A and B are shown apart, each in its own frame.
Chain A
Amino acid sequence: MAEDRRRKTDMTRNETGPVTLIVPSHPKYLYVVRSALYPILTDAGFGRKDARRIILAVDEACSNIIKHAYEGDPTKSITMTVAEDADRFIVRLRDYGKKADPAKIAPRDLANIRPGGLGTLFIGAAFDTVTYDTNQEQGTLLTLEKKKQRVNV
């Protein structure tokens, strides 16, 4: 009994969440994703600027899912799972569309001024680790991790 209580206390201290949000793959729901993230980020101790950059990155990743995985089909779904432990803040995005090809995903050269191609750059700027897992039966699991000690206010 005492051991169970201690284990529960340790879990509470070490891990928060996960919070799961499922939204349709329509761009109008990007606002819902952003709105859900902000209080979780401030609660996790991120300053306004870091919170803004993380939200931008997750928004860009969801936009990429809508554009590339679902090819604009608004009737599919995106599942966002947010979790954190003492050291890391983790966002997982799961889609069931066309699998991502990590070999083709690269930020564009900033010297080349043209519309588009910035989403990947924003994702890389906000998160320390970006992992595309295409070993799913269908779709992709994108995992974005940020170390908490790198928080800038």
Chain B
Amino acid sequence: MKVEITTQKFGAGSILLIKGDVDMNSSPDVRSSLDEIFKQGGAKALLINLSGVRYMDSSGIATLVEAMQNCMKQGMKLRLVELSPPVRDVFELARLSSIFEIFANTGEAQAGL
């Protein structure tokens, strides 16, 4: 099962749109896309839209935690957008909902950046 990753630019930074299953097989692809964004640098924010994620395991969570750590190092804001029900459930299990900034839609996530 492939994961589809699309990167878009907006005024304050980048939006990463992930669709499909994020598991041990596809997490390296997500990590590579994130690394590209971090290499470019200079952005104020990174938004990750998870509305199309049908499945996420601990490797996907680890990838997001790494992204959060990289954003902190680069002084970027990380905002997660539109968590799908399976992602919300994994966040609940791992008690991560209070660790990340989570927004209902892209418009709200972009506000104030």
For residue A121, CB closer than 8 A to chain B, the reply is: yes
Contact (Cβ within 8 A) A59 B57: yes
Binary interface encoding of chain A residues 57-74 relative to chain B, with 1 for a CB under 8 A from any of its CBs, else 0: 001100100110000000
Alpha-carbon distance between A137 and B45 when the two chains are bound, in angstroms:
53
How many of chain A's residues have a CB under 8 angstroms from any CB in B? 27
Tell me whether A122 is interfacial, beta carbon within 8 Å: yes
Residues in A78-121 with C-beta less than 8 Å from chain B = 110, 113-119, 121
Q: Please report which residues of chain B, range 56-74, place their CB below 8 angstroms from some CB of chain A when the two chains form the complex.
A: 57-59, 61-63, 65-66, 69
The complex places the Cα of A125 from the Cα of B33 at a distance, in Å, of: 31
Q: Are B94 and A115 in contact (CB under 8 A)?
A: no
Decide yes or no: A122 and B58 within 8 Å by CB, A110-B94, A110-B95 being known contacts.
yes
Q: Which residues does chain B contribute within 8 Å of A59, judged by CB atoms? A: 23, 57
A130 in the interface, Cβ–Cβ < 8 Å?
Answer: no
Q: How many A-B residue pairs have CB under 8 A?
A: 64
Residues of A with C-beta under 8 A to B59: 63
Residues of A within 8 A of B66 (CB): 115
A22 to chain B, nearest CB (A): 18
A56 touching B25, Cβ below 8 Å: no
Asked, given contacts A31-B23, A59-B23, whether A116 binds B58 with beta carbons under 8 Å apart, the answer is yes
Binds A, one of B5-13, B85-93, B103-111: B85-93
* B residues less than 8 Å from A53 (CB atoms): 89, 93
Identify the closest chain B residue to A26 (Cβ): B25
- From DSSP, what is the main secondary structure of chain B's interface residues? helix
Question: What does the 1/0 interface line of A21-47 toward B look like (CB < 8 Å)?
Answer: 000001110110010000000000000
User: Does A150 lie at the interface of the complex (its beta carbon under 8 Å from any beta carbon of B)?
Assistant: no
Give the chain B neighbours of A119 by CB distance below 8 A. 57-58
Name the A residues within 8 Å of B62 (CB-CB).
115-116, 118
Known: A60-B58, A115-B66. A30 touches B93 (CB 8 A): no
A52 contacts B by Cβ under 8 Å = yes
B1 touches A31 (CB 8 A): yes
| A152 nearest CB across to chain B (Å) | 12
Lowest 7 CB-CB distances: which A-B pairs, in order? A115-B62, A27-B25, A118-B58, A31-B1, A27-B24, A115-B65, A63-B24
